[in-house]
Chains A and B, each alone.
Chain A
Amino acid sequence: MKTVFKIENLDLFYGEFQALKNISLEIEKNQVTALIGPSGCGKSTFLRCLNRMNDLIESCKIMGDVAYHDENVYDRDYDVIGLRTKVGMVFQNPNPFPMSIYDNIAYGPRCQGIKDKKRLDEIVHTSLEKAALIDEVKDRLNDSAMGLSGGQQQRLCIARAIAMEPEVILMDEPTSALDPIATLKIEELMNDLKKDYTIVIVTHSMQQAARISDKTAFFLMGELIEVDSTDTIFTQPKNQKTEDYITGRFG
């Protein structure tokens, strides 16, 4: 199996506070990797290392290796923009731009200099198709994205990420702001998407991790306690803390 991300000895500080402690982890191609753990354990922080969104936080200092296809993304002259076009991100709260549905999806490609109307039309359509949103919005592509429901907005954000033709999609609790039905739709969607994309998903819900992921990593207080195939983690965890967490004894 091909490794997409290889993280080695990653330490991360917010000022004095160490949020990630010596993390080593590999992300495999076309797999869904779930990051679980109680809140504040550093899941989002870890996820943001993969597309360098932590750069925006001034107090944040990083040590160690985050290798994307064998290149450390934290090298001084690494092409961050290029990284972010290959590694897309979906946030916890749906955050469509206050523009039309079409413009939302065309935004990324346009920023990369794609202007050809036909090409953009095509990108918008295939992205919406892949995000299972096309039927709901095909007659109102020029309406504001703000008029969509929460679940639709989140699928739009997924479509927006897909429009960049990324290799990896990072998702930070993408369903925590959604109702159960919308959540179900997104989970179905993720099952489709893993054929074409490598997905790293932070989730609060162990059921969700169990349902959709191939590999699960359990974080606790900035440490990576255990990582294994999802089946193993949920049936025979090696670490006592993992077992306590998945059996609901804390967290």
Chain B
Amino acid sequence: MSKKMQITLTVNGTRHELLAEPRELLIHVLRERLNITGPHIGCETSHCGACTVIMGDRSVKSCTVFAAQADGASITTIEGLGTPDALHPLQEAFREHHGLQCGFCTPGMITRAAQLLKENPDPTEEEVRFGMAGNLCRCTGYQNIVKSVLAAAATINAAKEAAE
């Protein structure tokens, strides 16, 4: 056991101060210490993207970030994107377009897609595929995931236009 250190994480807008060992991975701290179980563990080896969260303004695989590295960071998980009563447009689109089957990859998919649409609000199909290449799905064959992301982009852009 190494010494625990004090870590501050702002997750979905809520500030948490906690003690953790430096070697703890961000995904473990989120799931086990903060009970934020949206981000999943698929592979734990930086391959599948199920653990994707937004840290600051970048998508990261939280199984490949030490909690200590994240000290001071702002983090968004799937829990911060929408609620059962007010789904995020991406969640709505995944439901509408059958963008999930077992749902295991979905939190990572949606969290990654949310950041992708911030970086590129009006992506082509190819840009969605390239931008989502770090997230694996064993069920859907990706077609409907891509469709869902494109549909959500259209919804978000239409809402933006209506607001202007």
Determine if chain A interacts with chain B: no
Residues of A within 8 A of B (CB): none
Query: Could you list which residues of chain B lie within 8 angstroms of chain A, going by C-beta atoms?
Result: none
